[in-house]
């Protein structure tokens, strides 16, 4: 278990540093900014690379919602939930800390810019209301878990799961960055929010509740529809 949680810490660290780092450091860089598409691709690449790097060690969850969804789908033991989730949150906070050190090295850096935090209402990138953001996060997490459960099913083609999952997360970001800045991952939301404080902490509840609900629905649905045997 120690090796597994260490892998989850490292993997989630990379997800937050790579994904949120691309948003904070590179998305709007003058003349060369990568924009929404680049950020979406960065998140997908973090999962793709870590799936190959640590998938054989911990399963490469990198996300409390994924761990909970896999448990609901009968793929992960309940005894592993707490250590995995703690490792994931710790990895996300550590990555946010490293990103803060890097980002604050530039004159004019201000956490008021959001620091890649997730938000709704006035703090949604596109100004989307609470219900829209809640719906988006539940549905996107549901689809993410359906992709994960399907791609890792013993009946699926072997060896291709990381590609499907990484591209799935990229697509999810392409859809939902304007809505919530895309969470589908409570750990990813927690790391930046702790540094921003204020509104980011106040709105963090949604980015725990919605992904966990979406993941549970997906886990139970997949198990009921396709794993009866």
pLDDT digits (tens, 9 = 90+) for 41-76: 999 999 999 999 999 999 999 999 999 999 999 999
Top-confidence residue, 157 or 177: 177
What pTM value is reported for the model?
0.94
For residue 60, which of 163, 140, 182, 157 has the smallest C-alpha distance? 163
Measured distance CA(171)–CA(163) in Å, rounded: 12
Q: CA 17, CA 148: separation in Å to the nearest integer?
A: 22
Residue 159 has pLDDT above 70, yes or no: yes
Tokens of 83: 């250590």
Examine the pLDDT at 182 and tell me if it is beyond 80.
Answer: yes
Among the ranges given (30-34, 76-80, 150-154, 204-208), the one the predictor scored with the smallest mean pLDDT: 30-34
| Average pLDDT rounded to a whole number, residues 167-193 | 97
Q: Give the C-alpha separation, 151 to 164, whole Å.
A: 7
| Residues whose CB is less than 8 angstroms from the CB of residue 202 and which lie 6 or more positions away in sequence, other chains included | none
Average pLDDT along the chain: 95
Domains of the chain: 2-224 (1.20.1080.10)
Q: How confident is the model at residue 229 (pLDDT cuts 50, 70, 90)?
A: low
Contact, 60 vs 152, CB < 8 A?
A: no
Report DSSP state, residue 106.
S
Cβ-count burial 30-61 (b if 16+ within 10 Å, e if not): eeeebebeebbbbbbbbbbbbbeebbeebbbb
Find the mean pLDDT for residues 141-157: 94
Task: Give the model's confidence band at 112: pLDDT under 50 very low, under 70 low, under 90 confident, else very high.
Answer: confident
Residue 130 has pLDDT above 60, yes or no: yes
Which residue blocks in 79-205 are alpha helix, DSSP H?
81-103, 130-151, 161-180, 186-196, 199-202
Is a pLDDT exceeding 60 seen at residue 204? Answer: yes
């Amino acid at each position: 278990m120690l090796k597994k949680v260490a892998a989850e810490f490292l993997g989630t660290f990379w997800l937050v540093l790579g994904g949120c780092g691309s948003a904070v450091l590179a998305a709007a860089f003058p003349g060369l900014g990568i924009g929404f598409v680049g950020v979406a691709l960065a998140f997908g690449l973090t999962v793709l690379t870590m799936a190959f790097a640590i998938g054989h060690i911990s399963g490469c969850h990198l996300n409390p919602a994924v761990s909970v969804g896999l448990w609901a789908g009968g793929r992960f033991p309940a005894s592993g939930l707490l250590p995995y989730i703690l490792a994931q949150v710790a990895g996300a906070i550590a990555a946010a800390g490293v990103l803060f050190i890097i980002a604050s090295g530039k004159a004019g850096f201000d956490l008021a810019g959001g620091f890649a935090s997730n938000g709704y209402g006035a703090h949604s990138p596109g100004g989307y209301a609470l219900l829209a953001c809640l719906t988006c996060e539940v549905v996107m997490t549901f689809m993410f878990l359906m992709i994960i459960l399907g791609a890792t099913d013993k009946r699926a083609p072997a060896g291709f799961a990381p590609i499907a999952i990484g591209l799935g997360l990229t697509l999810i970001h392409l859809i939902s960055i304007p809505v919530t800045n895309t969470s589908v991952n409570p750990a990813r939301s927690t790391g930046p929010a702790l540094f921003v404080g204020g509104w980011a902490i106040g709105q963090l509840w949604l980015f725990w509740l919605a992904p966990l609900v979406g993941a549970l629905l997906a886990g139970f649905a997949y198990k009921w529809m396709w794993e009866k045997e």
